Homo-oligomer: A and B are copies of this chain.
Amino acid sequence: MSANFSVSEENYIKAIYHIQQSVDTVSTNALAEQLKTKPASVTDMLKKLKTKKLLHYEPYQGVRLTAEGRKLALGIVRKHRLWEFFLVEKLQFGWDEVHEVAEELEHISSKKLIDKLDAYLDFPRFDPHGDPIPDSSGRMAAQQQINLIDLPLNTPAEVCSVGSQSAELLELLTHKQISIGTRLEVKKQFGFDHSIEIRVKNQPAFTISQQLAQVLFVKRV
C-alpha cells in the first residue's frame, strides 16, 4: 500500500493537477514551462508515471491524472497548504515568503506527521493565500476566490491572494496600500482598457489597470 514517490515525481503530479484546474488535458510544453524544465525531460517522466498508473498518457495526446494520481496530488497540496498555514500562523512568516519553504516541506513523507499537524492547527480550511486545504481524505471546500476582474459592481470583497510575488508587483501593492485582507468594492469597469475603479474602505475611489486586477484574487464578504 501507498508507494513512495520521489520529489521529482511528486512535483510533476502536483503541477499536472494544478494545470488541470483550467484545462482538461495537459500539454508537454505547459508542464515543461511550469516545472522549469525541458519538454524532452517531461516526456521521459510522463512515460515513467504512466507505468506507475498515476496518469493517462498517449504520445502527442497530452496527459490527465488517473484517480490514483489525483489522490496523490491532493495529498501533496494538503501538505503544502497546511505547512504554509503553520508557517504564517505559528512561526510568523509573511504570506509572501512561505511558498518556497512549503515547496520543500510538502515532500516529507510521514502521514502521521501531517495529520497531527492538521489537528495542532485546528483543522484550518484555507491556507494563507485563500486556497482551500484538502482534509485527510482529500475533500476540501470549494474555491472561494475569484479574480477581481470578475467581481460584480458594488459587491464588498476582501483580497485573499495575489497571482505573483514579484518585487515589482509588491512595490505597486504597497504604494496603492493593497494587501491580503484589504476590503474593497468595484465601482466602475471601463471597457476601453479593462481598467477598473475600486474603492477601499471610505477612501476616495481610484483606478487600477487590467494587468493589476488580473493578479488580484478576492472573495465576497
Contact = CB atoms under 8 A, between A and B. Distances in A.
Interface residues of A, number: 18
A20 interface: no
Contacts of A108: 101, 104-105, 108
Interface stretch (A28-36, A109-117, A158-166, A181-189): A109-117
A190 interface: no
Interface stretch (A88-96, A191-199, A205-213): A88-96
A54 interface: no
Interface in A52-98: 87, 90-93, 97
What is the count of identical protomers in the complex? 2
Contact of A104 (B87, B109, B112, B116): B109
A213 B117 CA distance: 36
Nearest to A113: B101
A87 B112 CA distance: 11
A93 B117 CA distance: 11
Contacts of A120: 90-91
Contact of A87 (B91, B93, B113): B113
A41 to B, nearest CB: 19
Given A91-B117, A116-B92, A120-B90, A101 B105 contact: no
A112 B98 CA distance: 11
Contacts of A113: 87, 91, 101
